Amino acid sequence: MSPGRAVLGSAGVLLAAYGAWLLLSRQDLSGNLDVALWLAGGVLVHDVLLGSVVIVVSLLATRLLPAVARPAAGAGLVVLGSLTVLAVPFLGGFGRENAPDNPTLLDRDYTAGYLALVATVIIVVVLPVLLHSLRARRDQR
């Protein structure tokens, strides 16, 4: 192991230990159980739900898409899946009912922002594939 990796790894372990100490020392047992449930839920949503969807859609994409579009579609799928998982609490407005008198809590149009992100990802994924296909057709002439 290089010295740089050892230093970075040691710093990461120390920061994780400090974070765990803060978590355990500043919350009660029910707060720590909520954190544990939130962490476990994140892992389950990512590994079970998102992973399964990515595998199924990837299998379909390998049958339906041309070979040139598969890498871009896979990258776009991973980005869109992660963005969607991150956006669910904002789109659902979770937590808004806990502070109804706080006008700054979830005060934006998150649906429009999410749709703009989806459109951006789709454009970034589709545009290079189209340009590549057009260039390939032009070179064949």
Q: What is the pLDDT of residues 98-135, one digit of tens each?
A: 887 887 888 888 999 999 999 999 999 999 999 998 99
Please count the structural domains in the chain: 1
Q: For residue 136, tell me if it sits in a domain.
A: yes
Q: For residue 20, tell me if it sits in a domain.
A: no
- For residue 116, what are its two tokens? 């703009």
Let me know the angle formed at the C-alpha of 133 by 130 and 134, rounded to the nearest 5 degrees. Answer: 85
Taking the alpha carbons of 96, 97, 99, 100 in that order, is the dihedral positive or negative? positive
| 61 pLDDT more than 90 | no
Query: Which string of DSSP letters, residue by residue, matches 15-60?
Result: HHHHHHHHHHHHS-HHHHHHHHHHHHHHHHIIIIIIHHHHHHHHHH
Is pTM, for the whole model, over 0.75?
A: no
Q: Give the confidence band of 82 by pLDDT, cuts at 50, 70, 90.
A: confident
pLDDT digits (tens, 9 = 90+) for 9-34: 999 999 999 999 998 999 888 989 99
CB 72 within 8 A of CB 128: yes
- Domain of residue 79 covers 65-140
Q: For residue 93, tell me if it sits in a domain.
A: yes
Q: Give the confidence band of 140 by pLDDT, cuts at 50, 70, 90.
A: confident
Which residue shows structure tokens 């710093």?
11
Going by C-beta distance under 8 Å and a sequence separation of 6 or more, which residues neighbour residue 22?
none
